[in-house]
Structure 1
Amino acid sequence: MATADYRIEEDGGSGARLVLTGDWTTTGLGRTPARLERDAGDRAFSGLDLSELDRFDTAGALALVKASRGGLPNDAFDSRPEAGRIYAMVEKLDREAIAAPREANAFVRTFAKIGRGVYDFGQELLLSLAFLGRLITAVGSAAKNPRRIRWPAWFSQAERAGLDAIPIIAVTNFFIGAVIAFLGANLLSQFGAAVFTVQLVAVSVLREFAVVITSVLLAGRSASSFAAEIGSMRMNQEVDAMQVMGVNPFQALVIPRLAAMLVMLPLLTFVGMLAGLFGGALVTWSQLAYGPAFFIQRITEDPMMGTHLMVGMVKAPVFAIVVAAIGCRQGMSVAGDVESLGRRVTSAVVQAIFAIIFLDAVFALIFLELNL
């Protein structure tokens, strides 16, 4: 196979003649079209010599069309009419092709992106409200017919979403309590108030960190799992098959996960509280020489510790509903492709964490107004 090449021969004062050599095909062109287009410029060729041309296809014709913007003579392909027919077809398609739309400037693109974001937010809000309505209806139906409740699914989800998460919940909250104790011991010792490190650890763990850290971990662990499981069933049309068989997908898929999370998150939060207090107690013992008995005594003698415990536990059921609902909602919205599944799983985690932080701030304002 001969590589495509060309020569431009000056033809006296009448112009230039283009001589094509080799195979002007898809595999033989290489970088020749770019060189030819650069050398030809806007000149008009007075003739076309095809005596040294071997093979010619649409790729070669397109390269010739791009390079001969000045035009070719009418008799250019008389010696190779089959090449002329290919060239005429490609030249017509190129001439009639729709020009690429001009890209908008950065200012317009910025506002367009903001508009699409607002539209997507509104659409997500509308779909979430629709999901909430269907969920409330399914819960009411399950309450009216307790015999239809799928208890094995409830216990299975409780084990997977709750019991299996105990190690990571306990370890994470243990280190959170230890870090708080380290910071408190270091800072409060400078003011001669190291004894208040115990209260700092207890209040922060009981009131905020245990429930928030536990919820965030379950948002990354369980919300993503719910979205992936239900989304995979959507992709395989198993949810549609349930509806055909008369099974309510919300009662079979959503309610068991919601109930499991509602039961297990408060229990995991309590485990996180114990682990966080244990981590703080070890640090105060090792850094400040306050033994476990002193740590426990300082906590039990503070009359506000019960209030702090209640504040932390009140948040847990709300966070549980939010995490489970967002995970199932994103799973139910998965389309029929893997890209949609990945996008929805990511959205489930991000939205659940954002909702937890937002609701925690709302609870803080509410309890502040209630002086709790």
Structure 2
Amino acid sequence: MSDSAEFREDQGTVRFSGDLSLARLGTLPERLERVGRVDRVDLSDIDRIDTVGAWVVHRFAARHDAPVEGLSEDGQHLFDQVVDSDKPVVLRPKAQSGFGRVLGEIGDAVVLTGRTLTGLVGFMGATTIALGAVIRHPRRFRFNAVVHEFETVGVAALGILGLMGFLIGMVIAQQGAVQLRQFGAEVFTINLVGRLTLRELGVLMTAIMVAGRSGSAFAAQIGTMKLTEEIDAMRTIGVSPMEALVLPRTMAAVILMPLLGFFTSMVALVGGGLLSWVTLEIPPVTFIARIREVVPITDLYIGLIKAPVFGAIIAIAGCFQGMQVEADAEQVGLRTTSAVVQGIFLVIVLDAFFAVFFSWIGWN
């Protein structure tokens, strides 16, 4: 067994020897209290040191403001851990001014936004790589998974999208008629309903609804699988989560968004035409003929071009947030909320970009 812990003084240097562990310290802490001036502490002769021994030496050296030398690599690591833990505990945080707190929260939000944007761009790249791998190896394409997502994203959403589109068309027609009646131009309500529905609101409201339904579902499903370690198990058996989970959902959203947007726009035209018939006494035949005259085909093209881009960004945002779930079930709810907010925000940003771009190329 190692000798008990001892020390000796030599011209301002205190040299420890023996076993600096709890079982062998003995009266060492009391004897250290009687030591005078100390310039340095030498631990090169010790046989062993544990957390308690490191604590005793650290407090002794700190009291005399003396450096500690001679420890092995492992001993130095243990000593550093003890030194780092010797910090006062703050029971109450320091009071911070309101301006400083707001500035700090803004800074945290900016940093979080930057990290999220960087992660989302990287996730888009990973999805593109997975798509390339499936194109090179078509047998890895999961057709059944894509068809299943067709039902989740598309068929199950037709009812709520139809009702929403019908009501939006009626609201646009009603509000337009009220305002245009002041100028005796109620007939231009048809122009308003047709162009606004096909060019902007039909696809935009569809994207928002899909983000709320499917984007949140993607995040919750993948987040739950991440929490139960199913995704880790897939990687273990050689199955790529990007190809098995993310790619089918993204492809389903990209393919179905143009169809859903077109469906919503058509139902919105029906709603607007019905209200025009009831309140403005414009027959359906006249309404349809006027729509064909005043709505250029480019408005339909714009909606169909934007739709798959919106679908891709919604699906990728939902899957990305699902992949970020860690630790506990609370993360599933938080990430699901983030997926919806992020998807809707990106859709609106992209819609503004498309509006400027199409106006710039002359599709007015």
- 1:300, 1:110 → 2: CA distance? 53
- The partner residue of 1:151 within 143, 147, 152 is 143
Contact 1:234 1:336 in 2 (8 A): no
Question: Counterpart of 2:259 in 1: which secondary structure?
Answer: helix
Amino acid at match of 2:101: R
Using the TM superposition, give the Cα deviation of residue 122 of structure 1 relative to its aligned residue in structure 2, in angstroms: 1.9
Which amino acid is 1:360 matched to?
Answer: D
Deviation sequence 1:135-167 (CA, Å, 0-9, x none): 111110011011111111000001111111001
Matched, 1:301 2:293: yes
Unaligned runs of 5+ in 2: 1-86
The answer to whether the aligner puts 1:362 opposite 2:353 as a matched pair is: yes
Which residue is equivalent to 1:29? none
RMSD: 1.4
Q: Which residue of 1 aligns with 2:324?
A: 333
Q: 1:239: Cα distance to partner?
A: 0.2
SS in 1 for 2:103: helix
- Kindly state the Cα deviation for residue 130 of structure 1 after the two structures are TM-superposed: 2.1
Which residue in the other structure is 1:280 paired with? 272
Residue correspondence of structure 1 range 205-216 to structure 2 within 5 A: 205-216=197-208
- Whether the 8 Å contact between 1:161 and 1:222 is mirrored in structure 2 is yes
- Cα distance in 1 for partners of 2:116, 2:281 equals 54
Q: Which residue of 2 aligns with 1:217?
A: 209
Supply the AA of the counterpart residue of 1:280.
G
Aligned residue among 104, 116, 122 for 2:96: 104
Contact map agreement 1:228 1:331 (CA 8 A) in 2? yes
Superposed CA deviations along residues 36-68 of structure 1, whole A, max 9, x for unmatched, are: xxxxxxxxxxxxxxxxxxxxxxxxxxxxxxxxx
Q: State the AA in 1 paired with 2:218.
A: F
How big is the shift at 1:224?
Answer: 0.2
> Rg larger in 1 or in 2?
1
**Are residues 1:344 and 2:330 paired?**
no
Give the AA of the match of 1:277: L
**Unpaired runs of at least 5, structure 1:** 1-95
Quote the Cα distance in structure 2 between the aligned partners of 1:99 and 1:345: 35
- Residues 1:294 and 1:154: Cα distance change in structure 2 (over 3 Å): same
Flag as ranges the 4+ runs of structure 1 deviating above 4 A.
Answer: none
Write the distance in 2 (CA, Å) between the matches of 1:234 and 1:289: 57
Match of 1:234 in 2: 226
Aligned-residue offset at 1:99: 4.5
2:175 paired residue number: 183
Distance 1:102 1:199 in 2: 61
Q: 1:163 aligns with which of 134, 155, 170?
A: 155
C-alpha distance in 2, partners of 1:108/1:204?
45
Measure how far apart 1:113 and its partner are. Answer: 1.6
Q: Distance in 2 between matches of 1:113 and 1:298?
A: 53
Matches within 5 A, 1:1-372: 98-100=89-91, 101-302=93-294, 304-372=295-363
Once the two structures are overlaid, the 10-residue window that deviates more, 189-198 or 176-185, is 189-198
Give the TM-score taking structure 1 as reference length.
0.72
* Partner AA of 1:292 in structure 2: P
TM-score by structure 2 length?
0.74
Secondary structure at the residue paired with 1:121? helix
Cα distance in 2 between the residues matched to 1:160 and 1:215: 15
**Structure-1 separation of matches of 2:102 and 2:265:** 46
Shift of 1:109: 2.0
| Secondary structure at the counterpart of residue 179 of structure 1 | helix
Q: AA paired with 1:305?
A: P
1:216-259 Cα deviation digits (max 9, x unpaired): 00000000000000000000000000000000000000000001
Q: 2: distance between equivalents of 1:370 and 1:314?
A: 14
Deviation of 1:301 (Å): 2.4
Contact kept? 1:203, 1:308, Cα under 8 Å:
yes
Partner Cα separation in structure 2 for residue 112 and residue 190 of structure 1:
51
SS at match of 2:325: coil
- What per-residue deviation string (whole Å, max 9, x for no partner) do you get for residues 99-149 of structure 1? 524233323322222221222122212211221221111110011011111
Per mean C-alpha deviation after superposition, the further-off stretch among 306-315 and 267-276 is 306-315
Identity %: 43
Provide the secondary structure at the position in 1 that maps to 2:362: coil
